[in-house]
């Protein structure tokens, strides 16, 4: 096994998921010498990323991701397998079928990448991804992702707290919201050139300042211990686990501190269906379907895995206080 070249290793031996599970076990236990010897070689070798069928990021990024701190808290939910997380996606810049992003996002060039920081902050300007990541602590976070379409997954992200980044730019007292923008590039994101698009590109999202600063809110650069695949929003995407998935904007090029609530893509498109807050809420149905339950992937066609949706996607203990005094039926 040690001397196999990467081309000799069958993909089945090194699925990111199995490697990942072993890595978690490996990292999570205080190992004696015996256990160390039993740890699979593929786990110990940091270069496992190079065996990936997924397009890779630069070496420096793979290394940073491999060094990320393991998740502190175990999540009871079973992880959604890697193949599902990376092949069943919403990323309308590449098409509207769930399989389109995995098929068509090869045109996206996530490296090099830079992010513009703008608006009400003492420091603003453009920062490249490597410099941006040099000043934050990468860690693993296992989160439930609940799409407004009533399906969900459990994904082990690698990322950092958005608040840790935002503080560095010293937002002023006028900064009440944070607005995010996805890359606008018709060559890299072909659907942005379509005359039949349902969205007014580029994709935009936003959070209230306290939501943006909440420790559960992260920017992700990886998943399953590997560089974020293009279809999942490479190289940098938001993850807000207590809100519907459409808030978790992908491939971010701009972060702006604003005084007023920013316009957000789905809210602009259909304000009666998609609110600015978009907190997961089983008691407030979408006008065209119930939000009381969800299809947890993977889910069979003949034996669908239907579970109850939880208030704030199960993160109520951490975030409910952000919305005290608000009518969540009106501010949905
Ligand atoms: N730029 C951009 N970001 C986006 C979307 C999109 O179409 N474009 N879709 C959103 C929706 S509806 C969901 S459910 C999640 C899906 O993330 P995933 O494909 O990584 O599971 O991304 C969100 N972020
Ligand atoms: Mo979604």
247-300 pLDDT tens trace: 999 999 999 999 999 999 999 999 999 999 999 999 999 999 999 999 999 998
Query: In the 3-class helix/strand/coil scheme, how is the chain assigned residue by residue?
Result: CCCCCHHHCCHHHHCHHHHHHHHHHHHHCCCCHHHHHHCCHHHHCHHHHHHCCCCCCCHHHHHHHHCCECCCCCCCCCCCCHHHHCCCCCCHHHCCCCCHHHHHHHHCCCCCCEEEEEECECCCEEEEHHHHHHCCCCEEEEEEEECCCCEEEEEEEEEEEHHHHHHHHCECCCCCEEEEEECCCCCCCHHHHCCCCCCCCCCEEEEEHHHHHCCCCEEEEEECCEECCHHHCCCCEEECCCECHHHCCCCEEEEEEECCCCCCHHHHHCCCCCCCCCECCCCCCECCECCCEEEECCCCCCCCCEEECCHHHHCHHHHHHHHCCCCCCCCC
CB 260 within 8 A of CB 208: no
Cis peptide before 235 (omega within 30 of 0): yes
Mutate to test the pocket of ligand 1, among 88, 236, 248 (most ligand atoms within 8 A of CB): 248
Does the pLDDT value for residue 41 go beyond 90?
no
Name the residue ranges covered by the structural domains of the chain.
11-30+43-321
In percent, the amount of the chain with pLDDT more than 90 equals 79
Mean pLDDT to the nearest integer, 302-310: 96
Does the pLDDT value for residue 10 go beyond 80?
no
Spatial neighbors of 298 by CB under 8 A, at least 6 apart, are 80, 81, 84, 305
Residue that the structure tokens 């009533």 belong to: 150
Q: Measured between alpha carbons, how far is 14 from 48 in angstroms, rounded to an integer?
A: 8
CB 51 within 8 A of CB 9: yes
Q: Is 93 in the pocket of ligand 1 (CB under 6 A)?
A: yes
Return the bridge partners of 144, or none: 154
Backbone angles phi, psi at 118, to 5 degrees: -140, 170
Q: Is 82 in the pocket of ligand 1 (CB under 6 A)?
A: no
Assigned CATH for 11-30+43-321 = 3.90.420.10
Sheet architecture: strand order including 204-208: 125-128, 114-119, 252-258, 177-182, 204-208
Q: Is 232 in the pocket of ligand 1 (CB under 6 A)?
A: yes
Q: Measured between alpha carbons, how far is 210 from 198 in angstroms, rounded to an integer?
A: 30
Distance 19 CA to ligand 2 centre (A): 28
Closest ligand 1 atom to the C-alpha of 92? 7
The backbone region for 114, taken as left when phi is positive above 0, alpha when psi lies in -120 to 50, beta otherwise, is: beta
Distance 71 CA to ligand 2 centre (A): 25
Q: What is the mean pLDDT of the chain?
A: 87
Q: Is 234 in the pocket of ligand 1 (CB under 6 A)?
A: no
Residue that the structure tokens 């992010």 belong to: 115
Record the tokens describing residue 158, joined without a space: 């690698």
For 174-185, write each residue's pLDDT tens digit.
999 999 999 999
Q: Which of 10-14, 115-119, 263-267 has the lowest mean pLDDT?
A: 10-14
Per-residue confidence (pLDDT) for residue 228, from 0 to 100 = 98
């Amino acid at each position: 096994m040690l001397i196999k070249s990467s081309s000799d290793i069958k993909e089945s031996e090194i699925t990111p998921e199995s490697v990942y599970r072993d890595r978690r076990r490996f990292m999570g236990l205080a190992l004696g010498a015996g256990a160390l010897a039993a740890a699979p070689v593929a786990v110990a070798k940091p270069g496992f990323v190079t065996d990936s069928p997924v397009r890779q990021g630069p070496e420096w990024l793979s290394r940073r991701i491999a060094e990320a701190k393991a998740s502190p808290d175990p999540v009871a939910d079973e992880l959604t397998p890697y193949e599902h997380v990376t092949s069943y996606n919403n990323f309308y810049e590449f098409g509207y079928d769930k399989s389109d992003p995995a098929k068509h996002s090869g045109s996206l060039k996530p490296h090099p990448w830079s992010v513009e920081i703008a608006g009400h902050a003492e420091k603003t300007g453009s920062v490249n991804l490597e410099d941006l990541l040099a000043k934050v602590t990468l860690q693993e976070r296992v989160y439930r992702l609940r799409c407004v379409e009533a399906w969900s997954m459990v994904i082990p992200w690698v990322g950092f707290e958005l608040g840790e980044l935002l503080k560095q730019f010293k937002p002023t007292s006028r900064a009440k919201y944070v607005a995010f923008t996805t890359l606008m590039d018709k060559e890299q994101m072909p659907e942005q050139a379509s005359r039949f698009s349902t969205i007014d590109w580029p994709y935009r999202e936003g959070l209230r300042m306290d939501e943006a600063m909440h420790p559960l809110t992260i920017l992700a650069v990886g998943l399953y211990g590997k560089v974020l695949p293009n279809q999942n929003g490479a190289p940098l995407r938001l993850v807000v686990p207590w809100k519907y998935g459409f808030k978790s904007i992908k491939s971010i090029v701009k972060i702006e501190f604003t005084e007023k609530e920013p316009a957000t893509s789905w809210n602009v498109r259909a304000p009666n269906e998609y609110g600015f807050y978009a907190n997961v809420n089983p008691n407030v149905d979408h006008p065209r379907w119930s939000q009381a339950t969800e299809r947890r992937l993977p889910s069979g066609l003949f034996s669908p895995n239907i579970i109850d949706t939880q208030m704030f996607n199960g993160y109520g203990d951490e975030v409910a206080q952000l919305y005290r005094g608000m009518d969540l039926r009106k501010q949905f």
